[in-house]
Amino acid sequence: MPEISIDAKSIDLGYGVRAEDTFWCNQGIIRISDLRDSQDEQLLADIILSIGLGKPFAASKDNFDYYYGKGDDDKSDEIDLAIARYGENNIQKDIKTVLSHMKNAIKAVKGASDKKFSKR
């Protein structure tokens, strides 16, 4: 497990993934503490929900809880069915496409600058 756990220069636990080297932290999109708190996973869940539901997902704690099967309104079956209809391979392909577009947009905005995207 240590080889896939998140580490940071300031913590240096000897884990395999340096937060500073991830796309999210390297560009200043997610702070190191947020990455360690799984905000990258929440962002991907937002993308998956948006694709599966066919519209932008209104991210909030309650809305995530509903689709995780928690809270007052269990919508976990709804997203499971939507993903099954859409196709798991199609979701994977589309996530890669979304991330590729994000990287290209950041690259275009940054140009030759070494500054993080968030500092532009």
Residue-range definition of the domain harbouring residue 10: 1-37
In a domain, 116, yes or no: no
Q: What is the pLDDT of residues 7-32, one digit of tens each?
A: 778 877 777 888 888 888 888 888 98
On whether both 97 and 43 belong to a single domain, the answer is: yes
Query: What's the mean pLDDT in 66-78?
Result: 91
Residues 2 and 59: their CA atoms lie apart, in Å, by 30
On whether both 57 and 78 belong to a single domain, the answer is: yes
Q: What is the pLDDT of residues 33-69, one digit of tens each?
A: 888 888 888 988 998 999 889 999 999 999 999 999 9
In a domain, 56, yes or no: yes
Distance of CA 17 to the CA centre of its chain: 16
In a domain, 120, yes or no: no
38 to each of 5, 58, 69, 114, how far by Cα in Å? 11, 18, 18, 26
On whether both 52 and 33 belong to a single domain, the answer is: no
On whether both 43 and 83 belong to a single domain, the answer is: yes
Residues 69 and 8: their CA atoms lie apart, in Å, by 32
In a domain, 118, yes or no: no
